Structure 1
C-alpha cells in the first residue's frame, strides 16, 4: 500500500486537520459517539470526517461505520463537500452527503464557523443480516448534533425569542434576558444566520453494498432488481413477489436487465471510436496477459513494439484465451458497419463492448458492475470500484504493481474529469471519484 499512498491512489485529496481548536471539536464529536479521543495533533479527513490516521490509532477502520449501516459523519468545514469518501459500506454515501451539503449549505456555513456538526445517517435497520434488511432501506434521516452544543443553544435562544414575543411582560424577566444575551454571544443573530439544517430526510436510491461480498440493488418504477452471489442470505427468498434476483455469474440475465432498462449504451461507432474505450480495454487485456505469463517482466520497458512482438510469439496463447482477438474483431466490425449484433456475442464478452448510459442516474453504479465484469481493466476498476481494485492489487506482483501505479498516475490522475468524460461519457463531475 505504500506505493499507492505515495501516488495518492489511496487516501488522496483529503483535508488536513491540525489547528488545535479543530482537533478539539473533532474529539468532542468522538466523545459524542462514545469513542476514545485521538491523541494526534494533525490528521486528514474525507467528506464524512473519516480519518485514516485516526482509524489506525483506534485500530478500527469502521469507527464511523460500526455496524456498516447508519453511517456516522463529522463535518468540520463546508470544504469537506469537495472531498472524496474513502471508506464506506454503501456506494451512494457520497451522493447522500452531497445532497445534505447542498440542501443545508447556509446552516453548515454558519455553524462550522464556531462549531462542528456530527451525527448519523440513520435508516430503518440497525444490523444487516440478509437481503431483506438492505431492501428495507428506502430513505435515510440525518440525525445532527454539534460538538459545542451550538444547535441546542440556537434552539434554546429561538424558544426564548418566541417567549419574549408572545408572553406579556416577558421583557421584565431579567434572568431570561441575560440568558438570551449570553446565548446570542455564542450563536450570533439567529434571525440572520440559519443554524438549523433545513432538510434532513433523503431518498435512498440504487446502490451497491459491501455486505456479503457485494450486493447491487437497482430500483425502477415498479420493480427492484438485486444482483449478487446466490449464497447471500435471502437470495430469492426476500420479497420474491416484488424483487427480481440475478446471480453475479449469470452474464446473460445481467446484461439483458441492463439493456432492457436503458442502463447501458450499445456499441456504436459514434462513441466507440471517439472514446477509445474498447482500445483501452484491449490494451489492458494484453498487459494483463503478459503479467500472467511472467510476473517478473519489467512492465515499464514494455512499449508498443514489445507488445506486438509478444503477441506474435504468444499467438496460440492469445488465441486460446480469446478476449483480445474478440475485441480486435469487434472494433473492426464497428468501424466498418457502425455497430455490432450483440446477439452474436457470447454473454461474458458483451460487457467489454458497452458502458453505462451517460445520462442515466445509475451510470456510476452500472459502470461499477461493468468494471467488476471486466477485471483485466484495472483502470476502470480503480475509477468505479475501488474496493475491488484494492483487493486485486494485493494479488499483483511487485513489477505489475509498479506498472499499475504508473499507468493510473499518467492517465487518470492527470485530469480525472476529462478522462471520465472521454472514456465513459460522464459529463456530471459530482461524485468526487
Structure 2
C-alpha cells in the first residue's frame, strides 16, 4: 500500500494535525473512548477524525469503529467537513457526518475554539448479527460529548438563566449565581455563541456496508431491497411484503431492479457520444487483456497506434473474451439507432453499457454496485468503490500495480471533477 499512499490514492487529502493543543485534545477524546493516547507530534485525520497513524500505533484500523456499528467521531476543527472519509463500514457515514456538521455549523465553530467534540453515531442496535438487525436501523442519533464538557455546561447555564428569569427569588441564591459565573468562564456568552447542537437525529437511507461480505440496501416507497451474497445471515428470512432480497450473483435480476426503479441511465446517443463512455470501457478491457497475456510487460503510456497494433495481433484472444467486439458493436448500433435494445444484450454484459442516473439521490451508490459487475474498469472501481479497489489491488503483481497507479494519477487525480462529469454525468 506504500505506492498508493505515496501517490495519494489512499489516505489522500487528509488534514495534518500538529499543533500541540490539538494533539492534546485528540488524546483526551481517545482516552474518553478508553484508548491509549498517541505520542506522535503530527497525525492526519479524515472527516470522522480517523487517523491512519493512530490506527497503526494501536494496531487497530477499527479503533473508531469497534463493532462496525455505532461509529465514533472526533471533531477538532470545522475544516473536517471538507475531508473524505477513508475508513468506514457504511458508505453513508460520510454523508451523515456532513449533514450533522452542516446542521450544527455554528455550534461546531464555537465549541472547537475551546474544546474537542467527540461521540458516537448511535444506531438502534449495538451489534449486527443478521440482515434484520441492519434493516431495523431507520435513523441515527449523534451522541455528542466534549472533553471539557462545554456543551453540558452550556446546557446547565441556559437552565440556570431560565430560572433566573422565571423565579422571582432565584437572584437571592448567591451560590447559584457564583456557579453561573464559573460556568460562563468556560462557555462564554451563550446568548452569542450557540454551544448545544440543534439537530442530532438523521435518516439512515440507502447504503453499502462491509458487513456480511458486502451488502447493499436500497429504499423505495413501500419496499426495501437488499442485494448481497445469499449466504448472509437472514437473507430472505422475513417480511417479503416489505423487503426484497436479490443475490449479488444474479446479474439479470439486479439489473432489472436498477432499471425498473429508475436508478440507471440506459445507453442513449444523447449522453454516450459526448462522454466517451464506451471507449473508456473498451480501453479498460484491452488493458486487462494485455496484462493477462503479458503479466510482466511494463505498459507505460499506451498510445492509440500501439493499442491498435496489439489488438490486431491478438485478434483471437480479443474475440474469445468478447468484451471489446461487443462494445464496438454497441457503438455502431447507437450510431445507427440512437439506442440499444437491452433485452437483446446478454445479462452479463448489460452493466458495461450503463451508468447511474446522475440526478438520482442514489447515484454514487448505484455506480458502486455497477462497479462490482465491471471489476476490470479499475478507474470506476477506484472512484466509487475504494474498498473493492483496495481489495483488488492486493492481488495485483508489482507491474500491474504501477500501471494502475500511474493511470489513476494521470486520468483521475489531475481532474477528478472533470472525469466524474464527463464519464458519469456527476457534478460536484
* TM-score interval for Structure 1 and Structure 2 normalised by the shorter chain: over 0.9
TM-score of the two chains, using structure 2 as the length reference? 0.98
For structure 2, the 5+ residue unaligned runs are: none
Shift of 1:175: 2.2
SS of 1:233's equivalent? coil
Aligned to 2:265: 265
Q: Is the 8 A contact 1:25 1:148 kept in 2?
A: no
Question: Residues of 1 paired with 2:238 and 2:296: CA distance?
Answer: 48
Question: Residues of 2 paired with 1:7 and 1:28: CA distance?
Answer: 32
Aligned to 1:425: 425
Shift of 1:239: 2.5
Q: Is the 8 A contact 1:206 1:362 kept in 2?
A: yes
Question: Residues of 2 paired with 1:335 and 1:150: CA distance?
Answer: 64
Aligned to 2:294: 294
Cα RMSD over matched residues? 1.0
TM-score of the two chains, using structure 1 as the length reference? 0.97
Shift of 1:108: 0.7
Shift of 1:303: 2.4
SS of 2:351's equivalent? helix
Aligned to 2:4: 4
SS of 2:34's equivalent? coil
Q: Is the 8 A contact 2:90 2:207 kept in 1?
A: yes
Question: Residues of 2 paired with 1:91 and 1:41: CA distance?
Answer: 31
Distance 1:301 1:261, change over 3 A: closer
Question: Residues of 2 paired with 1:294 and 1:301: CA distance?
Answer: 16
Most deviating of 78-87 and 243-252: 243-252
SS of 2:145's equivalent? strand
Shift of 1:137: 0.9
Question: Residues of 1 paired with 2:34 and 2:163: CA distance?
Answer: 35
1:196 aligns with 2:196: yes
Aligned to 1:21: 21
SS of 1:300's equivalent? coil
1:176-220 CA distances to partner (integer Å, 9 max, x unpaired)? 222222221211110111100000100001010101110011100
SS of 2:171's equivalent? helix
Distance 1:148 1:368, change over 3 A: same
Aligned to 2:101: 101
Question: Residues of 1 paired with 2:69 and 2:173: CA distance?
Answer: 47
Question: Residues of 2 paired with 1:169 and 1:234: CA distance?
Answer: 61
Most deviating of 341-350 and 298-307: 298-307
Distance 1:303 1:140, change over 3 A: same
Question: Residues of 1 paired with 2:240 and 2:117: CA distance?
Answer: 40
Question: Residues of 2 paired with 1:247 and 1:138: CA distance?
Answer: 23
Question: Residues of 2 paired with 1:224 and 1:363: CA distance?
Answer: 17
1:408 aligns with 2:408: yes
SS of 2:16's equivalent? strand
Question: Residues of 2 paired with 1:125 and 1:348: CA distance?
Answer: 37
Shift of 1:110: 0.8
State how many pairs are aligned.
428
Q: Is the 8 A contact 1:137 1:204 kept in 2?
A: yes
Aligned to 1:397: 397
Q: Is the 8 A contact 2:223 2:241 kept in 1?
A: no
1:322-344 CA distances to partner (integer Å, 9 max, x unpaired)? 11110111011112211111111
Aligned to 1:60: 60
Deviation >3 Å, runs of 4+: none
Aligned to 2:333: 333
Question: Residues of 2 paired with 1:304 and 1:265: CA distance?
Answer: 29
